Amino acid sequence: MAKPGLLVVLLAAMLLMGCTHSEESSIAPLAPAAGRVDPGLGPGTRALSSGPGYKGSPSWNPDGTRIAFTMDGYVVDVPTTSGESRRWTTKDFVATDTEWTSDGILAILGATSPTRRGADNSLYRANAGEGSLALERIARGVLAMSPIPGEHGLVFARAKGPHGSKLAGSRDGGTSYRNYADNPIEGHVSALSLSPDGEEVVMSLRPPGDPRTSELRTFDLRQREGRNIARLEGDREILGTPQWTRHGIYFVAGKQSTRLDDDSSEPLFELYCVPADGGAPEPAPGVGEDFVASSIRVSPDDDRLAVIGRLNPKSPINLYVLDPAAKKLEAITANEDMEIKTDPDDLAWSPDGENVAIIARGTPSTEPEVRTEPADRLLRDFYNLYEIPVSEASAR
């Protein structure tokens, strides 16, 4: 029985050897490539882009891992953590808006070789997987668009003659579309967005014979019926895209000709609210009577409104979040000396509602400025995208 005993000892040794792992040396975690920076917008700010280029119209993809934007007219996207940018259009393309319809597909509103900016825009579809800069045209003469979250679709307005518009929709990321109604809408649609339930659209319009975007209209996509909900009087016009929250429709409006250095006590543009079923627009409660609004965007949960504006005509521009239910405005950035871009489409919520992307730069000098970094790594010297965390207090 000595031999079986030896065998058992040998097997035990083999088992012990097999169960013993070779010593592992730990690998230190990688430092975040794009860490938090404080470029003068307050703590927690993170740069999402760098280098030269006039950037605009940021849009987060549905899973929040990439952000697309226009740069000097062409479209690029970058990972929100770190990595190289991708170009989606050629440099002779001028995009005015870009929106994700799914994680790999962008809807791009713009024109190839335009004779003037914004003239005769078409709506295109671009696919990240196709590896080229080819665009598929969805429709010509498109005035405005909005993605339909969760359906890989789009709703958009096409020009119908000099004074009319038609609403159309495409589904499943395709290039085919259908009109929502046979009869055109009177007026040219300037901008549109969806209601919280996705079944209606709110549009700002330029009525026939009126040079101003002065009318708000809703359209029920299921009933295929539209109705006017507000008309602005007194030379005021609507700026940007109206936003439909769970507590009413918000929009920015004012007199385009008013300037900051005017002695007029009237602010440049005000934030207004109107009930979804129509009525007289009222200044949005909670922002203060001197508040000057520039651009707004509703949060993914439709309960908060990101607002770029200033508390009064002399105060710095900042990002704020308005809670319409609580009528409470919270400053999100603490802008010291940055120029925050104020075009209507220059802000976007992340899909999880925890961050807002804005575009900002330092004040440019009239003298040559010398830096010790390559141009493509500079932040403050050019308009760049920043991710601004929205505090817990403003999250509901």
Partner 1 sequence: MRGVAIWFSGAALAFFLTAGAFLLLANIATIPAEKSLAPEPPAAASQPIVGLELNADQLASLKLEPDQSLDLTVRNEGNTPLSDVNVTLSVSSENTALSVSRHYRQTVAKIPAKGTADIPFGFDLSVPEQRVTGRPASEPARGILEIKATTPDGISTMKTVILPP
Q: Which residues bind partner 1 (CB under 8 A)?
A: 4, 7-8, 11, 14-15, 17-19, 22-28, 52-54, 56, 70-74, 91-92, 94-96, 113-117, 364-375, 378, 381-382
CB atoms under 10 Å from CB of 173, counted, come to 16
Cβ-contact 350, 358 below 8 angstroms:
no
Residue carrying structure tokens 């104020």: 342
CB proximity list for 191: less than 8 A, separation 6 or greater: 144, 203, 204, 213, 238, 240, 241, 242, 344
Q: Which is nearer to partner 1, 29 or 129 (CB)?
A: 29
Q: Which is nearer to partner 1, 88 or 180 (CB)?
A: 88
Least Cβ distance, residue 6 to partner 1 (angstroms): 12
Q: How far apart are CA 333 and CA 324, in angstroms?
A: 19
Q: Which is nearer to partner 1, 10 or 393 (CB)?
A: 10
Least Cβ distance, residue 201 to partner 1 (angstroms): 26
- 370: phi then psi, degrees, rounded to nearest 5: -110, 130
On the CB side of 188, CA atoms within 13 Å amount to 16
Q: Which is nearer to partner 1, 55 or 247 (CB)?
A: 55
Q: Which is nearer to partner 1, 98 or 195 (CB)?
A: 98
CA 28 → CA 24, 31, 194, 340, distances in Å?
12, 9, 46, 37
Mind giving me the DSSP string for 282-336? EEPTTS-TT-EEEEEEE-TTSS-EEEEEESSTTSPPEEEEEETTTTEEEE----S
Q: Which is nearer to partner 1, 39 or 353 (CB)?
A: 39
Q: Which is nearer to partner 1, 102 or 121 (CB)?
A: 121
- 78: phi then psi, degrees, rounded to nearest 5: -135, 155
Least Cβ distance, residue 281 to partner 1 (angstroms): 29
Least Cβ distance, residue 134 to partner 1 (angstroms): 19
Least Cβ distance, residue 369 to partner 1 (angstroms): 5
Least Cβ distance, residue 381 to partner 1 (angstroms): 6
Q: How far apart are CA 1 and CA 122, in angstroms?
A: 90
Q: Which is nearer to partner 1, 18 or 234 (CB)?
A: 18
Q: Which is nearer to partner 1, 354 or 381 (CB)?
A: 381
Least Cβ distance, residue 11 to partner 1 (angstroms): 4
Least Cβ distance, residue 73 to partner 1 (angstroms): 3
Q: Which is nearer to partner 1, 25 or 176 (CB)?
A: 25
Structure tokens at 49: 């882009």
Q: How far apart are CA 388 and CA 42, in angstroms?
A: 9
Least Cβ distance, residue 90 to partner 1 (angstroms): 9
Considering only CA atoms, which of 190, 110, 217, 100 is closest in space to residue 147? 100
Least Cβ distance, residue 138 to partner 1 (angstroms): 20
Cβ-contact 352, 334 below 8 angstroms:
no
Find the largest Cα–Cα distance for the chain.
110
Q: Which three-class secondary structure state does DSSP give residue 176?
A: coil
**Angle at the Cα of 114 (from 112 to 115), degrees rounded to 5?**
160
CB proximity list for 283: less than 8 A, separation 6 or greater: 270, 271, 272, 273, 289
